[in-house]
Amino acid sequence: MRRIFTSAALVASCAMAQGFTLRDQKVEVEIDAGGNLVSLKNAVTGQDYASGKPLWRLYFDRKDGQYENEVRAQDNTPDIRQEDGRIILRYGALKVGDDVLRARLTLSVRVEEGQVRFAAEVANDEPHTIIRELHYPLVGDCRLPADHKLLTTLLGGKLFANPKALIVRTGNIPPYMAPSQYYRQFDLKYPSHTVANCFAFVGEAQGLYLGSHDPLFQDTWHGLRVYPDATGAFAVLEAGLYKYPNCLAGQVWRCDANTLVPYSGTWHQTARLYRDWADTWWHQREVPLWVRKMKGWQRVIFRHQYGETLFRYADLNGRMRRAGESVGVETVLAFGWWQRGMDNGYPDSYFVTDPQQGGDAGWGGAVADYRKNGGRLLLYFNGKLIDRESAYYRDGDGKAVSYRDNTGGEYTEQYRFKGHGTFTGLYNARTFVVADTRQEGWRRQLRDMADRAIRFGTDGVFYDQLGYCEPSSNWDVDGEFPIPNTRVIADKAETLNMLHDHLDAKAPADFALGTECFTDVTAQHVDYVHNLIGATGPNDFTEWVRYAFPEVILSDREIRDDTDVLRRVNHAMLKGLRNDIEIYRCRDLIDKTPIYQRHLASVNRLKDKYGDLLLLGRYRDTDGIVNDNAKVSARCFVNGSRLAVVVTQSSAPEATTSLRVPGYVFQEMDSVGAVKLETGSNERQVLHVGRDGLAVLVYAKGVGE
């Protein structure tokens, strides 16, 4: 007989024969006596994502060279208790085939405000053994409704239809590098270019959110696997979260971060869930007003990697200024301004400007002249790379502060930019080691770079590559087992925070700090982020990061010539992205791409006209607006009592939509390209939008709102 315990917010039932259940008004979770996940249910819609499969698995290494030894939940029987509103599973030792691993595993499950929270404790009592990996929680044979898509936060957001087909299609690339006879896996890890530590399966009115709300910002694998069914066909979906305890003998590792949420609503709910947690630690200092008003920048390389001079200092206040003025962009993000050129000689090279152009005085004078004419200058430094030919590496701290691999050897990266021939790009690549940003010796270098930008009178400093993690980590090889640093992104965030403190103390009040790549914990410590992609591909879904973190100034990327310009510029306007103008990958200026130049000038006229909304307003995606034609894209921005809707489409010669903004009164519209406003009443606005047409409609809150 099932016994039911009732409280105001939570019902918990426990019966050994039938399992253990926790529920509130939004969710229900049930664990059976064997420790399997029997139910993970949206209590509002009735959708159950679980099907009675194991909740976890674990991997350990032995000193004798046996790696990734698997401990399976189904081979172990837990002692399960209901205690203080939690289901607690205790494993006193772990069976591994015919062997026993002397380790204790304690798992707990609780329900909090519609979220199912999963905690774990691993205690390793086995000598000469390290527990590397814990996959928990797992939703095996995950039951997805037909409309559910896979939403990841990779590169700001990616949305994929038919998750199983995606995993099977990509899960054996490259072929048989993984044990593909057992499962197919979609590789996805935070923080390797994922902006947040979550993913989801999203439908039109409900979905399943999986997040690791981890205040330590540890590496987390977003588990997406498809296993074969009884016929051998890869058709059984498993989703979960994987952590890396690296727990040595005598140690205890704990984690209380992972949460599963069968939610009701659109995909926006996933962003709200993550942002609600992020608000417990997010602290972004006030972004300078000029950065918030910035429409974009020209990104240029003055001298390239192998010595080719693309621009001289005098061009900054000459052709470069004129090119920017032609499209309404006053900011330059300057790369390769030092004598040795881009990606060469770091970090020594930043401290030697070109003597043939007047050295520091010549560069400083060029910066001053440009700024006198209303220009803004952001100065580039790389935040992590150390050239192995630099004096800092050969004779200074370079070797001591650089990453080590799992053997103690140096971790290196190469950048193969090509010259006019073939030899340099093929053979003569620059080789760099990567600095560990925890090291004070490297932090001192970063502060010196900031001081140099201040002395040149620039408007800000940009540290490349501090917003993401490398494919490999820095390893500690001094103990019995080599152990990677699984908190690299937290270290980079702490470093950026230190740099912001330094600038607050030494730089002008409106001096700006930026980095490359959006990751949640690093983005809070900068004033602008140079994006990794343009986010206009068929699966790109930058709506996620813009909705979850609308206050972050984020650029587009990848418009490098006159290819597909109108659609991509309009996309940046639609999503509130700043323009990264990088003609021929920073080798030329926008006056060499006339289509881009003309269209961006027209679009930026709208940004100037409605800057209080499009630049200073808060991106709210589709919240509060009703768009009757899904083939027409419409997104909104809010500032105080006013609202702007940006409308565009690129799928048809012409498309018509009807817009409604409840609670607001339509005021005016302006547009670029083929756009016609047929009806402009307060109740609705009917628009005919030609291919790549772009419109901005402005509204004010109605009387009494």
Please work out, in degrees rounded to the nearest 5, the angle formed at the alpha carbon of residue 404 by the alpha carbons of 345 and 71.
Answer: 145
- Distance of alpha carbon 582 from alpha carbon 132, whole angstroms: 43
Tokens, residue 582: 């990088």
Instruction: Assess if residue 564 is contained within a domain.
Output: no
- Yes or no: say if 586 and 558 are a contact pair by the CB < 8 Å rule: no
Any residues with CB less than 8 A from the CB of 619 and at least 6 apart, and which? Answer: 546, 547, 550, 575, 576, 635, 636, 637
Instruction: Assess if residue 24 is contained within a domain.
Output: yes
| Confidence category of residue 191, pLDDT binned at 50, 70, 90 | very high
Instruction: Assess if residue 570 is contained within a domain.
Output: no
The predicted structure's pLDDT at residue 9: 37
| Whole-angstrom Cα Rg for the chain | 27
| Cα separations in angstroms, 174 against 171, 187, 225, 577 | 8, 12, 16, 34
| Single-letter amino acid code for the residue at 674 | A
Region of poorest pLDDT, from 73-87, 177-191, 407-421: 407-421
Collapsed DSSP state (helix, strand, coil) of residue 670: strand
Check whether residue 234 and residue 311 sit in a common domain. Answer: no
Q: Which of 527, 543, 559 is the last residue of a domain?
A: 543
Check whether residue 244 and residue 299 sit in a common domain. Answer: no
Check whether residue 274 and residue 294 sit in a common domain. Answer: no
Mean pLDDT along residues 572-583:
98
| Confidence category of residue 703, pLDDT binned at 50, 70, 90 | low
The predicted structure's pLDDT at residue 366: 98
Check whether residue 264 and residue 310 sit in a common domain. Answer: no
Tokens, residue 678: 């047929």
Any residues with CB less than 8 A from the CB of 177 and at least 6 apart, and which? Answer: none
Check whether residue 305 and residue 332 sit in a common domain. Answer: yes
Instruction: Assess if residue 609 is contained within a domain.
Output: no
Say if residue 6's pLDDT is above 60: no
Give alpha helix (H) positions in 377-439.
Answer: 391-394, 398-401, 423-426
The pTM is what?
0.95
Q: Which residue matches tokens 């152009």?
A: 357
Q: Which domain holds residue 162?
A: 3-278
CATH number, domain at 240? 2.70.98
Q: Which of 278, 300, 320 is the last residue of a domain?
A: 278
Check whether residue 234 and residue 309 sit in a common domain. Answer: no
Check whether residue 53 and residue 137 sit in a common domain. Answer: yes
Collapsed DSSP state (helix, strand, coil) of residue 411: coil
- Distance of alpha carbon 42 from alpha carbon 206, whole angstroms: 8
Check whether residue 217 and residue 343 sit in a common domain. Answer: no
Check whether residue 168 and residue 315 sit in a common domain. Answer: no
Say if residue 504's pLDDT is above 60: yes
Say if residue 11's pLDDT is above 70: no
Say if residue 369's pLDDT is above 70: yes
| Confidence category of residue 680, pLDDT binned at 50, 70, 90 | confident
Number of folded domains that form the chain? 3
The predicted structure's pLDDT at residue 456: 98
Mean of the per-residue pLDDT values for the chain?
Answer: 95
| Confidence category of residue 64, pLDDT binned at 50, 70, 90 | confident
Return the axis-axis angle of helices 565-575 and 594-609, rounded to nearest 10°.
20
Check whether residue 62 and residue 116 sit in a common domain. Answer: yes
CATH number, domain at 632? 2.60.40.1180
Check whether residue 245 and residue 333 sit in a common domain. Answer: no
CATH number, domain at 428? 3.20.20.80
Check whether residue 630 and residue 494 sit in a common domain. Answer: no
Instruction: Assess if residue 94 is contained within a domain.
Output: yes
The dihedral through the CA atoms of 230, 233, 237, 240 has a sign that is positive
| Confidence category of residue 679, pLDDT binned at 50, 70, 90 | confident
- Distance of alpha carbon 223 from alpha carbon 239, whole angstroms: 5
- Distance of alpha carbon 165 from alpha carbon 180, whole angstroms: 15
pLDDT tens string 431-458 = 999 999 999 999 999 999 999 999 999 9
Q: Residue 413: exposed, middle, or buried by beta-carbon count in 10 A (0-12, 13-18, 19+)? A: middle
Say if residue 94's pLDDT is above 90: yes
The predicted structure's pLDDT at residue 13: 42
The predicted structure's pLDDT at residue 3: 30
Mean pLDDT along residues 364-388:
97
Instruction: Assess if residue 40 is contained within a domain.
Output: yes
Say if residue 18's pLDDT is above 70: no
Region of poorest pLDDT, from 62-66, 250-254, 603-607, 653-657: 62-66
Tokens, residue 471: 């494919």
Tokens, residue 250: 């005598």
Instruction: Assess if residue 611 is contained within a domain.
Output: no
Instruction: Assess if residue 582 is contained within a domain.
Output: no
The predicted structure's pLDDT at residue 16: 40
More confident of the two residues 214 and 10: 214
Any residues with CB less than 8 A from the CB of 422 and at least 6 apart, and which? Answer: none
Q: Which of 238, 257, 278 is the last residue of a domain?
A: 278
